[in-house]
Structure 1
Amino acid sequence: MTDLADLVDRSLAPSTRREFDERVDEQAAFLEGEFADGALDNDAFAIGLEMEVYAVAGEATDAAKDAGGATAPCSSCRLHQIPGSVFEDTDAVSKELGLHNAEINTDPNVFDDAGLAAQATAIEMETEKAHAAAGAEGCALVLDAMWTVPPDSGSVEYLSATTDVEGVQLASNMRSDPRYVAIDNDIVERAGGQIDFSVPGADIAFPSILFESLATSIQPHLQIPETASFPTYYNTAIRTLGPLLALATNSPFLPADVYGDVEDPGSLVEDTHHELRIAVFEQSVNETANPKVRVPVDIDDVTDVVDRVVADDVIAPFLREWIAEEPPTAYTDDYWEFEHKRGTYWRWLRCVVGGDPVEGAGDERSVRIEYRPLPTQPTVDDVVGLQALTVGLIRGLVVADHPLAELEWGAAERCFYDVARNGLEADLAWIDADGERTSDPDEIFAEVFEYAERGLDVQGIDDPDEYLDPIRARWKAEMAPSDWKKARVRESLADGADLETAITEMQRDYIAKSRETESFVEWL
């Protein structure tokens, strides 16, 4: 039996579950003791970022070189798998679920003027390195929230292709990482052999969770130095999910060939969600008794973040000794199985315990918010702006003792899902600085930017507008990237194109603009 098949079989064995649960319980008790002892407190706020991308390539005769020497997207580009050398050439690029996906990460920095500038520089430089590495292999990386131009095989065929290795199902275009494969087999079995996916214009059943790899996202991180105040930051952040997503929506269309023969393309453009990646992620993995991808409920104490992971449904448990070649050395090795389980605690907002040391902020013993609902943006400047808006807003609301956390949790949840469907035209929910409930977008976004500025200012950022203006311009123009995509498809349909052609033209135009412009503002 192959090592991969053996690991998957061991992961799904009942005896593993019992041992795994025992270790998680023991490690949770350890972490709660760490909180009680103040061991996870730190000296300062810190920030970091994860950014997912995908690759495209086209006919060699269409290929061109951009100013940095990387292959630029061509007029016939399609989804493309990322060669292994791309991951070898830069440490900041790591593999993701699909063979066409990658993730670009920044090292964390203190949340101050120099630290935020360092984040911006790191995102730009690592993205350029990744572009160059991909370009050397004849493909291009795209900053986008969902790929819509399919590979030659077709989207459904690509996402559905599987092989069997000694009783273990392998999705052909998924990374052959034992953890991914075990998760896939576990969820598919719970779903009865296939996973149903339904959004406007498409009803499909997939034999794998790989359709989750349609979507890409960014995840800003905010480290909280005083763990006793973590619940305040966490609960406040929940109430920002809807308004911040409204400014960021970027995935209104599935791959063009998924829709087939649409009787009324214009109605589909109107009905499709502004942020389909929310539905994609939730429907691809929510097959447990308690949905794993959802808006989290409030916490009362910082130790609740540990209890929530312990209580979460178990998917594909692993034991450290199966895959670890070195003896425990890192802090997270003290709770390896707990951390493995937290990796499938897929709430739209979650807590991360432990991480890289941050000079000036503390060691690897820390606690931070991982903000997960935001799609990847068109350009680096847009990504940086949204990161600054997110961490600045959460910090500003709390430091000003803003009453937003008093908003009913259910209203915040409804707002989030309405935004995923309707974007900037959603029914928003907010408590203003005077403690009054409001759904007025003008009032809400005025406060969003006001308190983001306050948060950045209190952290010593010299020019908050430098970071916030590219995102603020979206509200002034009432246009997020998803609005631009819908408008572009409407134009093509009006000119006589069919839906598949209209989506394909829009996507290739998007890819070109994302590489040719500094910010989405230039598209407005």
Structure 2
Amino acid sequence: MASPVELVERSLADATRDEFDRRVTEQAANLTTAVRNGRLANPGFALGLECELYAVADDTRLARLPGEVFDGPCERELGLHNAELHTAPSPFAVEGIENQVTQLRRQYQRAQRAANRHDVELVLDGMWTVPPPEGTVSYLSEVDEHGDVTVAENMTVSPRYYAIDNDVLDRAEGTLSLTVPGTVRDFPSILFESLTSSIQPHVQVPDPELFPRYHNTAIRTLGPVLALATNSPLLPPDLYDVDDPYELLETTFHELRIPVFEQSVNAGWAKVRFPDDIRTTTDVVDNLVADPTCAPFLREWIAGEDSETFDDQFWELGHKRGTFWRWLRGVIGGQPVGEGDQWSIRIEYRPLPTQPTITGVVGFQCLVAGLLRGLVSADHPLPELDHGAAERSFYSAVESGLDADLEWITADGVRTTNAEEIYEEIFDFARSGLREQGVPTELVETYLRPIELRWDRRTTPSRWKLARVREQLDRTDSLEVAIREMQTEYVRRAGTTAAFAYWGQ
């Protein structure tokens, strides 16, 4: 096989883009026909999950992961410090939820043991804040030039990542900028996106005719659900240039992961953004085709022998989906569940940062799945909320967390901005959706009650972090020391069995 640099050079060629787009169009037409012929129908709902982590050394500084970590189910992500766990899908029922928990916990423990053998620890967190010894800017900015191809030194060796990086850099004329409260920085690579870690609950919908209803309902839940999950309020302190750290704590966003990811890619095009509504299930395919092509590859460059699997029949279309970055998206194919045959359609719920504990990660998986099931089953009028209001709610949650200006349509069809009313409905319908899937009350409360307590007690991981840094600043007057002390305590608590809501203020 060609070297990673050679594959990037092929990817950037005009002829490759033309052939790739031709194949995408052809495969999309075939998939659209399959959708219209009812191939996506499945016997029931199903759940899946992706969970990203990062590595630290004993002093909580960012660390590169040893290769042994990836000998098991753990997969590499963008940076050398990043890893991803993902569960195999299971039916949306009591046994399926227990299976998700078991899979995730076993994978996490196995990867953690491998990391620990090299004096490294994996952290469940939304953003790292204690830089490696060389400093954040150096770590994220060190690049080598191989002719016309830029290679970030601390990026995972991957032709796909390299190609995305170079495609984005070409559009940005070689420089990408990050602008958030307290910092304005330029970078020579998309690698600064690796500051962040996320979880992505997946919900397979059995009736493809109902998928637009689920999709458009889910869009309108993004703001209030994200507000409960915020966990990335601070960057590494060596990225800041501020005179008053207390002012930074007041003005920073509660979920920096969103602008970091958007700004790492969006120079010259709006690739990462809030999702659009869809009218029909085939819009999932049409929107993917219409999205600007980024880093095209051809199947024969890297794939094995031809086969009749879904992934092989729609290889280029699937590759393009990997750069269809929306904070919620529909995905067709590739998740056989029960009696399914890999022809399925699911929602990927993408804005949530990684949570401090396994309980919290699965709690949000249950919240999302139960909420969507409950709202659609009750024919809730939430899809009548105008799209612009849903988008405003989302970005307000990004900036303000639980203080966000949220908008909602109640079950009675009344528009409201009252957060008490909104969260009362969110948890009521999440519970009803889980019960409708046969999940017993005890298990429902195991996973939903700790999330609900975040609202009752007005606490989230981002609020906890900011409060700890503020307390440390009162003692030290050093933002760097305050963030490091906060992060040390966070790492000590993260990954334990205690739900975040019981950490205390």
8 A contact 2:328–2:348 mirrored in 1: yes
State the shift of 1:516 in Å. 4.2
Deviation digits for residues 421-455 of structure 1, max 9, x if unmatched?
00000101110111011111110000000000010
Is 1:86–2:69 an aligned residue pair? yes
8 A contact 2:60–2:491 mirrored in 1: no
1:485 to 465, 469, 484: 465
2:428 to 450, 455, 473: 450
State the shift of 1:329 in Å. 3.8
Q: 1:393 — aligned with what?
A: 371
Provide the rounded CA distance (Å) in 1 between the counterparts of 2:11 and 2:83.
25
Q: 1:14 — aligned with what?
A: 14
Give unmatched runs, 5+ long, in structure 2.
none
Helix, strand or coil: the match of 1:41? coil
Provide the rounded CA distance (Å) in 1 between the counterparts of 2:67 and 2:144.
21
Q: How does 1:336-375 map to 2 (within 5 A)?
A: 336-360=315-339, 362-375=340-353
Aligned AA (2:61): R
Is 1:190–2:168 an aligned residue pair? no
Aligned AA (1:259): Y
Distance 1:213 1:167, change over 3 A: same
Is 1:136–2:114 an aligned residue pair? no
Provide the rounded CA distance (Å) in 1 between the counterparts of 2:101 and 2:495.
17
Helix, strand or coil: the match of 1:151? coil
Aligned AA (1:378): P
Is 1:174–2:155 an aligned residue pair? yes
Deviation digits for residues 58-107 of structure 1, max 9, x if unmatched?
3xxxxxxxxxxxxxxxxx2210011111101x12x111000000000111
Q: 2:438 — aligned with what?
A: 460
Is 1:383–2:382 an aligned residue pair? no
Provide the rounded CA distance (Å) in 2 between the counterparts of 1:442 and 1:491.
29
Deviation digits for residues 384-442 of structure 1, max 9, x if unmatched?
11110011001100001111111010000000001000000010111011101111111
Provide the rounded CA distance (Å) in 2 between the counterparts of 1:266 and 1:160.
28
8 A contact 2:459–2:501 mirrored in 1: no
State the shift of 1:333 in Å. 1.0
Q: 1:292 — aligned with what?
A: 271
Helix, strand or coil: the match of 1:369? strand
Helix, strand or coil: the match of 2:494? helix
8 A contact 2:357–2:495 mirrored in 1: yes
Helix, strand or coil: the match of 2:233? coil
Is 1:305–2:284 an aligned residue pair? yes
State the shift of 1:166 in Å. 3.4
Provide the rounded CA distance (Å) in 2 between the counterparts of 1:104 and 1:377.
13
Distance 1:437 1:19, change over 3 A: same
Q: 1:264 — aligned with what?
A: 244
Is 1:32–2:32 an aligned residue pair? yes
In terms of mean alpha carbon deviation, does 240-249 or 321-330 score higher?
Answer: 321-330
Aligned AA (2:65): I
1:218 to 199, 203, 209: 199
Q: 1:50 — aligned with what?
A: 50
Helix, strand or coil: the match of 2:438? coil
Is 1:418–2:401 an aligned residue pair? no
Aligned AA (2:62): L
Provide the rounded CA distance (Å) in 2 between the counterparts of 1:14 and 1:296.
29
Helix, strand or coil: the match of 1:79? coil
Helix, strand or coil: the match of 1:152? coil
8 A contact 1:293–1:346 mirrored in 2: yes
State the shift of 1:363 in Å. 1.9
1:255 to 236, 241, 251: 236
Provide the rounded CA distance (Å) in 2 between the counterparts of 1:351 and 1:382.
24
Helix, strand or coil: the match of 2:101? helix
Aligned AA (1:194): T
Count of residues in Structure 1 that have an aligned counterpart in Structure 2: 502
Deviation digits for residues 280-320 of structure 1, max 9, x if unmatched?
0000001243x111111110000001000110011110000
Q: 1:242 — aligned with what?
A: 223
Provide the rounded CA distance (Å) in 2 between the counterparts of 1:479 and 1:141.
24
8 A contact 2:128–2:235 mirrored in 1: yes
8 A contact 2:200–2:352 mirrored in 1: yes
State the shift of 1:2 in Å. 6.4
Aligned AA (1:45): F
Deviation digits for residues 173-226 of structure 1, max 9, x if unmatched?
001200100110110111011001100000000000000000000000000111
8 A contact 2:230–2:462 mirrored in 1: yes
8 A contact 1:288–1:313 mirrored in 2: no
8 A contact 2:190–2:264 mirrored in 1: yes
State the shift of 1:147 in Å. 0.2
TM-score norm. by structure 1 comes to: 0.94
1:281 to 246, 261, 286: 261
Helix, strand or coil: the match of 2:54? strand
Aligned AA (1:86): V
Q: 1:231 — aligned with what?
A: 212
8 A contact 1:380–1:518 mirrored in 2: no
TM-score norm. by structure 2 comes to: 0.98
Is 1:476–2:459 an aligned residue pair? no
Percent sequence identity is 55
State the shift of 1:489 in Å. 0.7
In terms of mean alpha carbon deviation, does 106-115 or 321-330 score higher?
Answer: 321-330
8 A contact 2:310–2:343 mirrored in 1: yes
Q: 1:67 — aligned with what?
A: none
Provide the rounded CA distance (Å) in 2 between the counterparts of 1:220 and 1:438.
27
Helix, strand or coil: the match of 1:325? coil
Aligned AA (1:266): Y
